[in-house]
Amino acid sequence: MPGGGYFYTGHPVLGLFDAVVEGFLLLVVLGTLLLVLGGDPAGRWPDVWIFSAILAVEKLITIYHAFHYIGELLPADRSFRPAEPRFGPT
């Protein structure tokens, strides 16, 4: 899901922004691809490749950010155990 990593880590504004941008880029790539396959003589293959590359870079940035935010969300030390509360006299 576009923006899902941001939503999972508690960044809904970034998730919404990412979903809108990724959805727009995906529609542009699919639209230009349909024009090319439909026989558009303008030769839009460079457009397909350019927008596909932009979409790929955007997706890589999203994956990098999601790994970063998940790293902040989850503890790195798996042997970590919270301290036991001390109630009453010791």
pLDDT above 60 for 3: yes
SS3 (DSSP) at 12: helix
| pLDDT band per the 50, 70, 90 thresholds, residue 41 | low
pLDDT above 60 for 23: yes
Which pair of structure tokens corresponds to residue 84?
A: 């036991």
pLDDT above 90 for 28: yes
SS3 (DSSP) at 82: coil
Distance CA 12, CA 7 (A): 5
